[in-house]
Structure 1
Amino acid sequence: MADQCSRRTVSRQALAPLLLRGALLSPFKRPRPGVADGATRPPVPPTRLVLPGVRIDLAKLAAYERVCGFAVGAEELPVTYPHVLAFPPMMRLMSARAFPLPLLGLVHTSVEISRRKALAATGEYELTVFVERLVPHRRGTEAVVMTEARADGSRVWESRSTYLARHRTPHNGPAPAAGARGPLPADIRKRLPGVATWRLGGGLGRRYGSASGDRNPIHLHPFTARLFGFRRPIAHGMWTVARCLAEHDLPEAVRVRAELKAPVPLPGTVTYAAEGGAFEVRGEDGETVHLRGEALPSFESSV
């Protein structure tokens, strides 16, 4: 798929106009029933967006580290931070006319990250974003969005994120799990021992939105969340992933997979549970699993 994409170098762009464009175009992108069938699946946008010469704003990085629980001022970037750096071109891609799913209402359902070596906070990176494929889902269609980070010409980090657009579909079977690579192994789907209780404030979504640039209204205020069907604002999925990984002593080369199972309402209390490389976040009822994932050593080298 990647070889068929056309490269387009882009400059940094403010997020607000992109989100507005995506919101205005969303009503014209409502997928039809049956769109998940192979014969009627919309085409994958053929464009690779390339953002060269990316350097880190250390003040913004520190704000991100604080809100996610990472050590502030470390020489290495948090393993999730390239996702933040790539968020503007990702939004540019998904708000464009060529992207077949509506931006409004897209739900982040899973993420897979591979870091091949430590990324210096003072380094310079080239980021590439493209839609790898569209995946049928029993509740609609998922877009698998690929992000790559390169340093000195070598690929040092990559991620696959799946985003679900809900619509009517004739498929009633189980949903494809964990995006492009299948479900998490059975041994990390068992109930994990609780490690810590996190009390999350009502302003967490605004704090993370300010640090990351992701100011989706479902995360910010009760009123704006209710406009999209949520009784309360919900935590960003990538905050939840990052907060879990901040508790791990990750190896330099690491592979992370996480399934975003259910929204985390704000304010609220959750339990962080972990054993070995496996982790999960459970709700106040002790039964609802909001997130489940694993972080394992990777033996891939940069290429």
Structure 2
Amino acid sequence: MHRIATAPRAVNTPMPLQFDLDTRPAILPLYFRALTARKPGRLPPGQERVLASVLLGNQAVDPVHLQIYRDVCGFGPGQHLPATYPFVLAMPLQLKLLVSEAFPFPVLGVVHVRNSITQYRPLLEREHLDIRCDLAAAVAVKRGYEFELLTSVRVNGELVWECVSTLLSRTPHGEAKVSRPSSGKKAWVAPVDEGCASAVNWQVPADIGRRYARVSGDRNPIHLSASTAKIFGFPRAIAHGMWTKARCLAALEEGAYAGTLPDRFTLGVDFIKPIFLPAEVLFQSAQSATGTGFSLSSGGRRVNLTGALVHC
């Protein structure tokens, strides 16, 4: 069940939507709507900063689901949630916002270009989480429109985790002047081209897209098989961006931080090029006084991802 509320608005200003959920929404109906919903493909006049919000309270962590996530992404055992795990819990909420009438663009073809997660303290497996997702207004950029999904997690009113996902809709706007969101600059640059402290090759199996889809609920056809990816113009299936981010975090936890990540940090990445499955990728990292930069590359010098874990 869910309740829809509307915030007060000025005359001729679109009314923000708010969904208050009792349970996580089912994924398959949302994907069906993503495939069939008719979207105007243009920005409405007089947008609010936040177009829509969804709230889901008192969510317990399923230990079986968490263990499957750990296995798929390469995390070892522990009492704390991996910092990327709340993103999986919030994914159905984000999809609900994207298929709502507040989002004006077709969902298929939207590209995840940047992601930043801030952990204010470690989350315990036994804690109950209050999750909120906000859909921010789109901004015209050179390649189309960028918009942000803002996700926060609170425990007993305490803000413990935040995430900013920047997505791109390659919808033509025909505007001479474009801008970029203030948080949209490429800040996550890994200084690992020379003299890197660590470099290791990973084998990424052909089925990792299907395995991550089962645990995350993200069953976008471009990740599932070569045949379904080809429908959307890809020669082979591609790895989920958030799987690659989680896999990098697991590698940092195991390597550079020797099993002990700082309690407070921001983990940001730029998704640059897709990883075609199966693949051999090179993970490089280099530490500094303020954090660790890292990158993933494949096929020689094809950079797939750059990122940084910054101590708070």
**DSSP 3-state at the match of 1:233:** coil
Gaps of at least 5 residues in structure 1 are 299-303
Q: Which residue in 1 is equivalent to 2:41? A: 31
Q: Which residue in 1 is equivalent to 2:304? A: 290
Runs of 4+ in structure 1 deviating by more than 4 angstroms, as ranges, are 2-7, 39-45, 171-177
Alignment of 1:99-110 (within 5 A): 99-110=103-114
Amino acid at match of 1:114: T
Structure-1 separation of matches of 2:295 and 2:40: 33
User: Quick check: 1:125 aligned with 2:129?
Assistant: yes
Q: Which residue in 2 is equivalent to 1:61? A: 66
Q: Which residue in 2 is equivalent to 1:191? A: 193
User: Quick check: 1:50 aligned with 2:55?
Assistant: yes
Structure-2 separation of matches of 1:257 and 1:272: 16
Amino acid at match of 1:50: L
**Of 152, 166, 169, the match for 2:170:** 166
Deviates more, 1:3-12 or 1:258-267: 3-12
Query: Pairwise CA RMSD of aligned residues?
Result: 2.5
Structure-2 separation of matches of 1:264 and 1:160: 22
**DSSP 3-state at the match of 1:86:** helix
**Of 63, 72, 76, the match for 1:71:** 76
Equivalent residues, number: 286
Percent identity of paired positions between Structure 1 and Structure 2 = 32
Deviates more, 1:207-216 or 1:164-173: 164-173
Q: Which residue in 2 is equivalent to 1:16? A: 28
Alignment of 1:1-303 (within 5 A): 7-10=18-21, 11-25=23-37, 28-29=38-39, 31=41, 46-72=51-77, 74-170=78-174, 176=180, 180-184=183-187, 188-189=190-191, 191=193, 193=196, 195-248=199-252, 249=257, 250-276=261-287, 277-285=292-300, 287-298=301-312
Structure-2 separation of matches of 1:65 and 1:184: 28
Deviates more, 1:58-67 or 1:3-12: 3-12
Contact 2:114-2:167 within 8 A present in 1 as well: yes
TM-score by length of 1: 0.87
Structure-2 separation of matches of 1:291 and 1:176: 20
* TM superposition shift of 1:172: 8.3
Q: Provide closer, same or farther for how the CA distance between residues 171 and 46 of structure 1 changes in structure 2, counting only shifts above 3 A.
A: closer
Contact 2:140-2:178 within 8 A present in 1 as well: no
Q: Provide closer, same or farther for how the CA distance between residues 173 and 260 of structure 1 changes in structure 2, counting only shifts above 3 A.
A: farther
Gaps of at least 5 residues in structure 2 are 1-6, 10-15
* TM superposition shift of 1:168: 2.3
* TM superposition shift of 1:197: 0.5
Structure-2 separation of matches of 1:57 and 1:259: 30
Structure-1 separation of matches of 2:19 and 2:187: 34
- Structure 1, residues 240-276: CA drift from partner, whole Å, max 9, x if none? 0000011223211111111000111001111001101
* TM superposition shift of 1:170: 3.7
Structure-1 separation of matches of 2:51 and 2:40: 20
Q: Which residue in 2 is equivalent to 1:301? A: none
Q: Provide closer, same or farther for how the CA distance between residues 30 and 46 of structure 1 changes in structure 2, counting only shifts above 3 A.
A: closer
Amino acid at match of 2:262: P
TM-score by length of 2: 0.84
